[in-house]
Amino acid sequence: MFVRIVKLIIKTEEISSFKTMFDEKKALIRNFPGCQFLELYQDKNNKEIFFTYSYWNLEEDLENYRHSTLFKAVWEETKLKFNGKPEAWSVNKLVSLS
């Protein structure tokens, strides 16, 4: 399993519609084969900055998602709302405390 972190900068005027779109699509993304976990965060100081965290079984699962009709539709809608270049990282979780 690995974690995918994506940083998105959304135009101020598009924040509400972005949150609505994410709310409508979150279950579809989370239930995509190989996705084990999905969260959306918003920066406390800069309301335009969002992060998604998703846990994937295999890189192949993430790649299958990234080439899916679902991803293409979500990404097409999301990128219209960008106020900066998105960034993404695939990381291995080393420590987790609850």
Q: Measured on CA atoms in the order 21, 12, 85, 59, is the torsion positive or negative? A: negative
**pLDDT of res. 68:** 98
pLDDT in tens, the chain (98 residues): 999 999 999 999 999 999 999 999 999 999 999 999 999 999 999 999 999 999 999 999 999 999 999 999 999 999 999 999 999 999 999 999 98
Burial of 40 (0-12, 13-18, 19+ CB in 10 A): middle
End-to-end CA distance of the chain: 18
pLDDT in the model for residue 98: 87
Domains in the chain, please, with CATH? 2-91 (3.30.70.100)
